[in-house]
Chains A and B, each alone.
Chain A
Amino acid sequence: ELKVEQNPLFLSMQEGKNYTIYCNYSTTSDRLYWYRQDPGKSLESLFVLLSNGAVKQEGRLMASLDTKARLSTLHITAAVHDLSATYFCAVDMPLNAGGTSYGKLTFGQGTILTVHP
């Protein structure tokens, strides 16, 4: 059974600081997604990482994927209050080497990020 673990689960940051959220998963996969959820809201897709070494950046957020280490990171640069939210990584188990799957996402526990002035 695929297990996905995020750490830290709670992250309190000061504005302007940098930090990294880690997402470890237990079995081979090269499909990893990062989502953001604001309180009482839906999940907003942030990044789609589909190969080893993939790196994507959007604003102050940068995500990377190391499939050999089964690790993805979400790096926050110069945090601002607007980044306060819960961040989830989700891993899709591939059916075969062709890169297909059933879309059965297994989510991490979520990291609650609070950015203070």
Chain B
Amino acid sequence: DTAVSQTPKYLVTQMGNDKSIKCEQNLGHDTMYWYKQDSKKFLKIMFSYNNKELIINETVPNRFSPKSPDKAHLNLHINSLELGDSAVYFCASSQPPFLAGLHHEQFFGPGTRLTVL
């Protein structure tokens, strides 16, 4: 069984388009994350939600909007795509990191490779 899944795996689109990436986890975790990995493999956190509530919102252009319909899903919508948005986007999940005594290891999805032409 897939623990953290993302769709699509590959996304090729033109500049200016709007696109969404979906993420689902079946680990029963309350907390989900979006990370961006650039062409140099550098990983940076973008957002985190706990039980549908935003808890981390890094310095990300407001063209990026996360949405969590329930605690098992965290989607990422990107408006007006730019060339610099080309990257691999990873979703992850964990137990709530702000609750002591829990195992807070983050489990990552397979990634979505976004190419903006």
Listed in ascending order, the chain B residues whose CB lies under 8 Å from chain A are: 31, 33, 40-45, 48, 55-56, 58, 90, 94, 96-100, 103-111
| Contact present for B42 and A109 (CB under 8 Å) | yes
The prevalent SS among residues of A at the interface is strand
| Contact present for B105 and A33 (CB under 8 Å) | yes
Given contacts A42-B108, A45-B107, contact A107 B97 (CB under 8 A): no
In the complex, chain B residues whose CB is within 8 Å of the CB of A43: 43, 90, 108
| Contact present for A102 and B100 (CB under 8 Å) | no
| Contact present for B105 and A86 (CB under 8 Å) | no
In the complex, chain B residues whose CB is within 8 Å of the CB of A37: 41
Q: Digitize A13-47: 1 where CB-to-B-CB distance is under 8 Å, 0 elsewhere.
A: 00000000000000000010101010001111100
In the complex, chain A residues whose CB is within 8 Å of the CB of B44: 107
| Contact present for A101 and B105 (CB under 8 Å) | no
Is A98's CB within 8 Å of the partner chain B? yes
Query: What are 14 of the A-B contact pairs (CB < 8 Å)?
Result: A33-B105, A33-B106, A41-B110, A42-B108, A42-B110, A48-B105, A88-B43, A92-B97, A100-B97, A100-B99, A102-B56, A102-B97, A103-B104, A105-B45
**Residue of B48, B90, B100, B105 touching A104 (CB-CB under 8 A):** B48
In the complex, chain A residues whose CB is within 8 Å of the CB of B55: 102
CA distance A85 to B102 in the complex (A): 29
In the complex, chain B residues whose CB is within 8 Å of the CB of A105: 45, 106
What's the nearest-Cβ distance from chain A to residue B51, in Å?
13
| Contact present for A103 and B97 (CB under 8 Å) | yes
CA distance A109 to B94 in the complex (A): 22
Given contacts A42-B111, A92-B97, A105-B45, contact A31 B104 (CB under 8 A): yes
